Amino acid sequence: MRTRLSQQERFAWSIVAVLFAGSVINYLDRAVLGVVMPQIRRDLGLSNQEYGWVVNAFLTAYALSYIVGGRLADRLGCRRMVAITAAFWSLAGVAHACVRGLGSLALVRALLGLGEAGFYPAAIRGAAGWFPSKDRAKAIGLLLSALCVGTLLTPPLVAWVTVRYGWRASFLVTGSFGFLMIPPWVWLHRRIRRVYGVPDPDPAKDGLQTNDAATPLARVLRTRKYWCLLAARGCTDGAWYFYLFWMPGYFQEVRGLSLATVGQLLWIPYFTAGLGAVVGAWVSSRLIHRGFSVDRGRKSVLVPAALLGATGAATCFVPSHVAALAIVALALFGHQSWSSNIHTAISEVAPPAHVAVLYGLTGAAGTLMGALAQLVIGPVVDAVGYQPVFVAAGAMYLAAASFLLAAGKIERIR
């Protein structure tokens, strides 16, 4: 029996390892645009407002795909959805090298969003199936730390390629990475199938195989608990997309850093963000191991993390770029500590049959918040600068904490 459990654990962490690599590549591909934004705007003649439209095209498609991808992941399983989405977003990433203006850039960004969004509901479903509640946040925290690794690697890699070969080459290089994760993913699931006899088992003893599988989706969508968690995630996701798509441009255009300097320094806030994802996940898991309830363990990390995220409002009010970078690093540490636990909490309140689609709906809400924000951010930055946007982003974390507390106890909706 111990041999079987040990093998199950090895499979579970092997799956997380490949999903981690996929998540790194996923975020690397989307973060390229933010790094080369000044160069693309200059070459294609785009204003800040038009750049906001391009980001909005990605986020709108991403939101739609989050919902559809979540539903497909519940039906097709983690194995097939991960392979399909990786191939799709990689093709879209490479296609960025061929854009000629606003329309074609918006189109390929929309295709990238369609491909990338379906990956995460499938990955969360896989983590929820393979890991029990006491360890699930560790797996999801690692997946979310991968987002930060991807954005951490992007500035130095893209700056190096762009300086030498131009921004189009940077999309060719990064877009091709996604194809590299498909062979090990297929090989791993062939091994799993030989052991379990089925391609997508859910072996965690308190994971997806429970008696709650028949809970109707419509009933969940009528609960205050779910909608409050959706709103909590939506607020902070909107702030995250601002940091992802506008922060590199802010440090170049307002703080006066060169692209090469951005490549040298901007890994720091992304590193602290990844650290926050792991630390936040492991702290809440440790508390649960020590006897805290799931609700108390998650909220003991979520509330302080939201307060840290709110400190980002001060970024524009400090005199030096070093202090601004430090504040952003602290805020992103808080953001990812929050994210690793709110994403886990969503999987813990969702009935087993609907984990991916309910997670996808919350992801769509967050993406739509980001998309709506782009309609405002561009004109505000053009008119008065970045200060009001940073303040609003900080306020989103306080609103998210309020929604979290209004949701009540973190427990399965029955």
Nearest to 236 by CA among 103, 158, 335: 335
The answer on pLDDT for 252 being more than 80 is yes
pLDDT at 211: 47
Considering the entire predicted model, what is its pTM? Answer: 0.75
Residues in Cβ contact with 345 at an 8 Å cutoff, skipping those fewer than 6 apart: 229, 298, 302, 410
* Token code pair at residue 393: 């982003």
Report the percent of the chain where pLDDT is more than 90.
39
pLDDT recorded at residue 307:
96
What local confidence, expressed as pLDDT, does residue 372 receive?
83
pLDDT of residue 1: 42
pLDDT of residue 8: 78
Using the structure block, give the residue that is written with the tokens 């579970």: 12
Q: Give me the pLDDT at residue 311, please.
A: 96
What is the 8-class DSSP label of residue 206?
A: T
pLDDT given at position 207 = 54
Banded pLDDT at 202 (limits 50, 70, 90): low
* Nearest of 365, 370, 359 to residue 123 by alpha carbon: 359
Report the pLDDT value the prediction gives residue 221, as an integer from 0 to 100.
Answer: 87
**Residue 338: its pLDDT value, please?**
95
Q: Per-residue pLDDT for 401 more than 90?
A: yes
- The token pair that represents 45 in the structure block: 């003649």
Flag whether pLDDT at 48 surpasses 90. Answer: no
Q: What percentage of the chain carries pLDDT values higher than 70? A: 95
Mean pLDDT over 166-176 rounds to 93
- The SS3 of residue 104 is helix
Question: Which pLDDT belongs to residue 383?
Answer: 87
Instruction: Name, of 104-113, 264-273, 340-349, 405-414, the range with top average pLDDT.
Output: 104-113
d(CA 381, CA 388): 9
d(CA 112, CA 188): 26
> Measured between alpha carbons, how far apart are the two ends of the chain, in Å?
32
Asked whether the predicted pLDDT for residue 89 surpasses 60, the reply is yes
Residue 361 vs residue 211, higher pLDDT: 361
Query: Tens of pLDDT along 341-393?
Result: 998 898 888 887 788 888 888 988 888 888 788 788 888 988 888 999 999 99
Q: Mean per-residue pLDDT for 325-346?
A: 93
Domains of the chain: 2-406 (1.20.1250.20)
Reply yes or no on whether the pLDDT at 85 is more than 60.
yes
